[in-house]
Amino acid sequence: MLNVVLAGPEIPANTGNIGRTCVVAGARLHLVEPIGFSLDHRMLHRAGLGYWENLDVTVYASWDDFLARCGLAPDGNDPRLHLLTKKARRTYAESTYRDGDYLVFGSESSGIPEDVLALAPARCERIPMLADRTSLANRDAWEARDRTLHPDGDEDASPLLRQDICGNFVDVRDYRISALNLSNAAAIVLYEALRQTGFPGME
């Protein structure tokens, strides 16, 4: 069985959609606090529809609690972990997935915490996306809005000091606005992992 991990989810509808996907894919869902909503939130259950009560879901007090309770390496550098981030060189399609692996996604506003990524760079994977100039006809308007939100942004500053429109830290030399919705990203990677592990009907 595959595992989907949401570290610090903030939007209940995304978590509800992901929970629904986990049910129909036979995957477990792991929620790592802080969680930005109550698990009784109506938007969570509306997105999950009648599936939520059938979901195998566990909540953890922290990242360290998650690692310890799942028997994963305490530094997070465990081969069963797949850390999905825009800051990876390797794509998810270049990875090998096995039964029991954990597909980890960070919060909608800031992704997986930097300290977690720094300890396990070999575990990081990304979903390839078109460059802004190709995918967004109104790219200039988005960039202008971002400059308004971050007027004192220093182009030479550390990439960790600048955030994109979604709140993700970016390398200003490789600036991307384009980003997938969390529930879309989780579905893309989960179904590749299911394909590789022999999910029925995906031969």
Lowest-confidence range among 41-45, 95-99, 172-176, 196-200?
A: 172-176
Q: What is the pLDDT of residue 38?
A: 86
Whether the predicted pLDDT of 160 surpasses 60: no
Q: Could you tell me if 78 and 136 lie in one domain?
A: no
Q: What sign for the dihedral angle of Cα 192, 91, 81, 162?
A: negative
Q: What is the pLDDT of residue 157?
A: 46
Q: How far apart are CA 30 and CA 74, in angstroms?
A: 17
DSSP string, 157-195: S-GGG-B-TTS-B--GGG-------HHHHHHHHHHHHHH
Q: Could you tell me if 40 and 123 lie in one domain?
A: yes
Q: What is the pLDDT of residue 102?
A: 98
Q: Could you tell me if 27 and 90 lie in one domain?
A: yes
Q: What is the pLDDT of residue 42?
A: 81
Domain that holds residue 112: 3-129+180-196
Q: How far apart are CA 143 and CA 62, in angstroms?
A: 34
Q: How far apart are CA 67 and CA 81, in angstroms?
A: 10
Indicate the average pLDDT of the chain. 81
Residue 138 in domain = yes
Detail the DSSP E strand segments found in 28-99: 28-32, 57-60, 81-84
- With CA atoms as reference, report the closest residue to 104 among 117, 115, 93, 94: 117
Q: Could you tell me if 23 and 73 lie in one domain?
A: yes
Q: Could you tell me whether strands 28-32 and 102-105 are parallel, antiparallel, or unpaired per DSSP bridges?
A: unpaired
Q: Could you tell me if 190 and 168 lie in one domain?
A: no
We report the CATH number of the domain holding residue 91 as: 3.40.1280.10
Whether the predicted pLDDT of 161 surpasses 90: no
Query: What amino acid is encoded at 17 in this protein?
Result: N
Whether the predicted pLDDT of 179 surpasses 70: no
Q: Could you tell me if 14 and 89 lie in one domain?
A: yes
- Report yes or no on whether pTM surpasses 0.85: no
Q: Could you tell me if 41 and 78 lie in one domain?
A: yes
Residue 59 near residue 44, CB atoms below 8 Å = no
Q: What is the pLDDT of residue 165?
A: 39
> Any idea which residue has 């998810």 for tokens?
92
Q: How far apart are CA 21 and CA 28, in angstroms?
A: 10
Task: List, for residues 86-124, the tens digit of each pLDDT value.
Answer: 888 889 999 999 999 999 999 988 889 988 988 888 899
Q: Could you tell me if 26 and 64 lie in one domain?
A: yes
Q: Could you tell me if 42 and 70 lie in one domain?
A: yes
Task: List, for residues 34-72, the tens digit of each pLDDT value.
Answer: 998 888 878 887 777 778 889 999 999 999 999 999 999
Q: Could you tell me whether strands 3-7 and 81-84 are parallel, antiparallel, or unpaired per DSSP bridges?
A: unpaired
Q: Could you tell me if 82 and 109 lie in one domain?
A: yes
Q: What is the pLDDT of residue 89?
A: 81
Highest-confidence segment of 8-17, 60-69, 139-148: 60-69
Residue 24 in domain = yes
Q: Could you tell me if 109 and 148 lie in one domain?
A: no
Domain count, the chain: 2
Q: Could you tell me if 59 and 81 lie in one domain?
A: yes
